Amino acid sequence: MKLIGNAIVGQSGGPTAAINATLAGVIRGALAAEEIKTLYGAFNGVEGMLAGTICNLSEIFANEADIITLEHTPAAALGSCRLKLPKIGEKDEVYEKLFDFFRANDIRYFFYIGGNDSMDTVAKLSAYSANHDWKMNVMGVPKTIDCDLAGTDHTPGYGSAAKYIAASMQEILRDCAVYTVKAVTIVEIMGRDAGWLTCAAALPKDICGVAPDLIYLPERTFNYDEFYEDVAAALERHPNVVVAVSEGIRLADGTYVGEGSQSGAVDIFGHKYLSGTGKTLEQAVKGKLGCKVRSVELNILQRCASHVASETDLSESVAVGRAAVEGAVNGMTGRMMNFVREEGEEYKISIGSEDIQKIANAVRTVPDEFINERGNYVTDACIAYIKPLIMGEPKIEYKDGLPVHFEIKR
Amino acid sequence: MKLIGNAIVGQSGGPTAAINATLAGVIRGALAAEEIKTLYGAFNGVEGMLAGTICNLSEIFANEADIITLEHTPAAALGSCRLKLPKIGEKDEVYEKLFDFFRANDIRYFFYIGGNDSMDTVAKLSAYSANHDWKMNVMGVPKTIDCDLAGTDHTPGYGSAAKYIAASMQEILRDCAVYTVKAVTIVEIMGRDAGWLTCAAALPKDICGVAPDLIYLPERTFNYDEFYEDVAAALERHPNVVVAVSEGIRLADGTYVGEGSQSGAVDIFGHKYLSGTGKTLEQAVKGKLGCKVRSVELNILQRCASHVASETDLSESVAVGRAAVEGAVNGMTGRMMNFVREEGEEYKISIGSEDIQKIANAVRTVPDEFINERGNYVTDACIAYIKPLIMGEPKIEYKDGLPVHFEIKR
């Protein structure tokens, strides 16, 4: 028997250029589903469900034009949170409070758009619901620019970040090429445990014939001696050397290269807070090779650059949000929607789902066959994997020279 | 009597998203001018004229489609240089070598696209030509993202950089708004002596209703105590405070705020090399207010972001390049082309020219009426001045997900 009632959706984790596209997909799915009376949005994820700060998305998005604008709005229109739920059985008052909220608002469908840590929330809520007296279908919809979620070919948000990184890298390469003086430019790209974003720096090679000289990923141990050798060899070939590095590259003893500048700081999930990998390498190369060196940190720009989003990413992000609603109203629960890439030359994706318990807290890193032997570049197979994900340009509405965004008022 | 012969064009100074559009304008003008037989391009500005490394632009750009692609290519397709010519009368062998080159190649028209330091080159070459036996019309075409050239309403390249800064600021503001934890984000924007680029950070206020809380320009002395007060007051109003600062802000004793991290380094023109204004303020706010702080440096991304260029900027840049050729073949020499903004509500520009001797090495800073009394924000008059310059989006050709650029092979 199908559940009938209201639905709630929340966004969690770091902002992306596509998380609102997925929200737009959930909204479209909910507006079309007979089983869902009203779709509520929770401000700041589960925090909003605990605080009762919600909004009526069915009303706010009665107009299709607003849903399209939402698709092109970066960050997280409902706000985000980094609240991690306790283990079930440890502090159950949190779950009791959440389920009081669900019961009071007749919430029968729960959608959570987020990354690794957010899928942990989905796993816990679906497990709790299964063993308590409020039946609710709980679905996770992936989102992370890092592309490091298990159980999916790639993640919504990755293609747009990859496109921004590739387009910016192409521009940086043009910029660096104008002078004849020997110079090294180090571009620091996000990625704590997985190098997927940094891999995207190689895309201009295939498409425009310009590329960084060296690419270092967290999947390989970073060795300063080899690095100096690589940079010196590149400077022999041409004066303007460009290096792409993941923020999360580590030395043989496990310490982060960028650790020096932010020693010991950790975020709420216990991840080491990193900043300064590029700056650290800049100083190192300056000291060792004595040439002009600068570093560029793409920083938060890379995760919210909706003005150069990938249309492939945005349309897939909408589709996966909608599919989550369709799955849920057909009885699915405790699962994360995923992308399955079909075999063959042509890029084709089908949307499926995976057991959430298998996905939460697992990290998918860049495989060996995508990294060269020396550990200082990516392979053609890697470029072929990423290339289809950055295809296409969304038709963005501009007003007075700037992209138009949709803001959900509180 | 009109000069008949060949022409040469060079690019100089820092890259921009529009300097190639101006080059495209010079090419269009030269292809149309009967007086110009062949237009040569000098690689790396005057360095290429001294080394004899030139190319035949009349041949390379026989195809209109390639000229359009050039307009959308960032950086400097001919390469750039930072060579400063000696004072006339001091080391005249450089001038003799250059004029030997002009004579040997029948160069009667000289076009130099660049900023402050490049106009110095134009001033010297036109003065030298006037007093020697090789008549050549020498024209400067302005280019600088900094907008700090004297004798023009604004500079080609500024509008595109301003658009990138405004669009990125809007995205950063969306990104910062997702969490409820008190946090300060400091965005460092280029500008050593003039704050024009940093002013552009205010544009989203008028257009999208989101804006940074505080804006600091090099035109006002930076005071740490007032800064802490301003940030603390902003944090009282809402949790996510965003601050835009020019790299060149200075303390009362004249030292740069960012000087600590790069002590004493100077570039070839004797300008202090700056980096780390944002990082310095990040540490300061963290120490003083104890909240979460991060800094984002827009870095070289802001000067070469052709993927989000301003169509107004690009079309004006083409027009000013073309006008320089038209002026030169009609006998103009020793002048820089400029923009004159017409009076009235509607934005309208006419192209004129100024005596190069009045322009070289002068700096145009942000006027008092564009800065508020406290020195921590820009006025509505400032926003009204910049707004028309970021209007319009060029039709950029994409291939496999990335913008197509034109590369002049060496």
Please tell me whether residues A27 and A93 are part of one structural domain: yes
Rounded mean pLDDT of A221-234? 98
Q: Which residues of A touch B391 (CB under 8 A)?
A: 400-401
For residue A397, the chain B residue with the least C-alpha distance is B393
* A179/B300 CB distance under 8 A: no
Out of A92, A117, A133, A146, which one is annotated catalytic?
A: A146
**Selection from B31, B26, B29, B30 nearest residue B11 by Cα:** B26
Residue B325, pLDDT score: 98
Rounded mean pLDDT of A237-243? 96
- Domain assignment of residue A42, yes or no: yes
Question: Taking every pair of C-alpha atoms in chain A, what is the biggest distance, in angstroms?
Answer: 72
Q: Which residues of A touch B172 (CB under 8 A)?
A: 300-301, 304
Please give the share of chain B, as a percent, with pLDDT higher than 70.
Answer: 96
Secondary structure of residue B133 in the 3-state scheme: coil
pLDDT digits (tens, 9 = 90+) for B218-240: 999 999 999 999 999 999 999 99
Q: Which residues of B touch A143 (CB under 8 A)?
A: none
Tell me the CATH number at B169.
3.40.50.460
Segments forming the whole domain that contains residue B17: 5-156+307-362+391-403
Across the interface, which of B171, B275, B299 has its CB nearest the CB of A306? Answer: B171
Out of B117, B120, B133, B146, which one is annotated catalytic?
A: B146
For residue B269, the 8-state DSSP code is T
Across the interface, which of B75, B298, B299 has its CB nearest the CB of A177? Answer: B75
- Domain assignment of residue A256, yes or no: yes
Tokens of A153: 């070919």
Q: Which residues of B touch A275 (CB under 8 A)?
A: 294
- The answer to whether residue A252 neighbours chain B at the CB level (below 8 Å) is no
Task: List all residues 6 or more positions away from A253 whose beta carbon is below 8 Å from its beta carbon.
Answer: none
Instruction: Among B271, B303, B335, give the residue marking a domain's end.
Output: B303
Secondary structure of residue B9 in the 3-state scheme: strand
Restricting to B residues 58-117, those with a Cβ less than 8 Å away from any Cβ of A are 73-76, 79-82
**Selection from A123, A111, A102, A113 nearest residue A33 by Cα:** A111
Which residue type, as a one-letter code, is found at position B171?
E
- Domain assignment of residue B333, yes or no: yes
Q: A110, exposed or middle or buried, with CB in 10 Å at 0-12, 13-18, 19+?
A: buried
* B401/A407 CB distance under 8 A: no
Interface predicted TM-score (ipTM) of this complex, two decimals: 0.95
For β-strands B398-399 and B402-403, DSSP reports them as: antiparallel
Secondary structure of residue B378 in the 3-state scheme: strand
- Domain assignment of residue A174, yes or no: yes
- Domain assignment of residue A383, yes or no: no
* B402/A75 CB distance under 8 A: no
Residue ranges of the alpha helices (H) in B209-348? 224-237, 277-289, 311-329
Dihedral sign for Cα A237, A238, A244, A249, please.
positive
- Domain assignment of residue B374, yes or no: no
Please tell me whether residues B245 and B335 are part of one structural domain: no
Would you give the end-to-end CA distance of chain A in angstroms? 36
Please tell me whether residues A199 and A224 are part of one structural domain: yes
CA distance A46 to A58: 19
Please tell me whether residues A164 and A182 are part of one structural domain: yes
Q: Specify whether the CB–CB gap between B296 and B169 falls below 8 A.
A: no
CA distance B118 to B400: 37
- Domain assignment of residue B237, yes or no: yes
What is the count of residue pairs from A and B with beta carbons less than 8 Å apart?
A: 176
- The answer to whether residue A277 neighbours chain B at the CB level (below 8 Å) is no
CA distance A21 to A322: 10
Secondary structure E strands in A166-305: 183-189, 214-216, 240-246, 292-297
Residue B95, pLDDT score: 97
Per-residue pLDDT of chain B (410 residues; tens, 9 = 90+): 799 999 999 999 999 999 999 999 999 999 999 999 999 999 999 999 999 999 999 999 999 999 999 999 999 999 999 889 999 999 999 999 999 999 999 999 999 999 888 999 999 999 999 999 999 999 999 999 999 999 999 999 999 999 999 999 999 999 999 999 999 999 999 999 999 999 999 999 877 788 999 999 999 999 999 999 999 999 999 999 999 999 999 999 999 998 754 445 554 455 554 558 998 999 899 989 999 999 999 999 999 999 999 999 999 999 999 999 999 999 999 999 999 999 998 999 999 999 998 887 788 999 999 999 999 999 999 999 999 999 999 999 999 999 999 999 98
Please tell me whether residues B41 and B143 are part of one structural domain: yes
* B308/A307 CB distance under 8 A: yes
Q: Which residues of A touch B303 (CB under 8 A)?
A: 175
Q: A264, exposed or middle or buried, with CB in 10 Å at 0-12, 13-18, 19+?
A: exposed
Task: List all residues 6 or more positions away from A165 whose beta carbon is below 8 Å from its beta carbon.
Answer: A189, A197, A198, A200, A201, A298, A302
Q: How many domains does chain A have?
A: 2
* B304/A163 CB distance under 8 A: no
Instruction: Among A259, A282, A303, give the residue marking a domain's end.
Output: A303
Please tell me whether residues B133 and B182 are part of one structural domain: no
Please tell me whether residues A140 and A165 are part of one structural domain: no
Element (H, E) at A282: helix A277-289
- The answer to whether residue A307 neighbours chain B at the CB level (below 8 Å) is yes
Q: How many CB atoms lie within 10 A of CB B275?
A: 20
Task: List all residues 6 or more positions away from B387 whose beta carbon is below 8 Å from its beta carbon.
Answer: A400, A401, B203, B206, B207
Please tell me whether residues B31 and B173 are part of one structural domain: no
Please tell me whether residues B25 and B125 are part of one structural domain: yes
Secondary structure of residue B192 in the 3-state scheme: coil
Q: Which residues of B touch A404 (CB under 8 A)?
A: 208
* B400/A391 CB distance under 8 A: yes
CA distance A9 to A136: 13
Rounded mean pLDDT of A24-33? 98
Torsion, Cα A182 A186 B298 B148, to 10 degrees, reads 0
Q: Which residues of A touch B203 (CB under 8 A)?
A: 401-402
Q: Specify whether the CB–CB gap between A15 and A117 falls below 8 A.
A: no
CA distance A90 to A103: 22
More reliable by pLDDT, A263 or A354:
A354
- The answer to whether residue A280 neighbours chain B at the CB level (below 8 Å) is no
Rounded mean pLDDT of A377-398? 97
Tell me the CATH number at A353.
3.40.50.450
Long-range Cβ pairs for the range B375-380 (8 Å, 24+): B375/B216, B375/B217, B375/B220, B375/B221, B375/B226, B376/B214, B376/B215, B376/B216, B376/B226, B376/B227, B376/B230, B377/B202, B377/B214, B377/B215, B378/B199, B378/B202, B378/B215, B378/B217, B380/B206
- The answer to whether residue B403 neighbours chain A at the CB level (below 8 Å) is yes
- Counting Cα atoms < 13 Å in the Cβ hemisphere of A144 gives 27
Residue A72, pLDDT score: 98
Q: How many CB atoms lie within 10 A of CB B206?
A: 16
Q: Of all residues in chain B, what percent are helix, strand and coil, respectively (each to 5)?
A: 40, 20, 40
Dihedral sign for Cα B294, B295, B301, B305, please.
positive
Beta bridge partners of B226: none
- Domain assignment of residue B23, yes or no: yes
Please tell me whether residues A143 and A15 are part of one structural domain: yes
Instruction: Among A303, A318, A353, give the residue marking a domain's end.
Output: A303
Restricting to B residues 10-69, those with a Cβ less than 8 Å away from any Cβ of A are 11, 15, 44, 47
Please tell me whether residues A202 and A262 are part of one structural domain: yes
More reliable by pLDDT, A145 or B362:
A145
Please tell me whether residues A185 and A148 are part of one structural domain: no
Residue ranges of the alpha helices (H) in B1-63? 19-32, 46-51, 57-60
Place of tokens 């066959």: A369
- Counting Cα atoms < 13 Å in the Cβ hemisphere of A4 gives 3
Report residue A355: phi and psi, to 5°. Answer: -60, 120
Residue ranges of the alpha helices (H) in B343-401? 356-359, 380-386
Q: Which residues of A touch B163 (CB under 8 A)?
A: 401-402
In the sheet that holds B54-56, the strands lie side by side as B54-56, B36-42, B5-11, B107-114, B137-142, B335-341, B349-355
pLDDT at A207 over 60: yes
Active site residue A146: yes
Gap from A153 CA to chain B (nearest CA, Å):
19
Across the interface, which of B44, B81, B207 has its CB nearest the CB of A400? Answer: B207
- The answer to whether residue A401 neighbours chain B at the CB level (below 8 Å) is yes
Q: B270, exposed or middle or buried, with CB in 10 Å at 0-12, 13-18, 19+?
A: exposed
Beta bridge partners of B403: B398
* B275/A294 CB distance under 8 A: yes
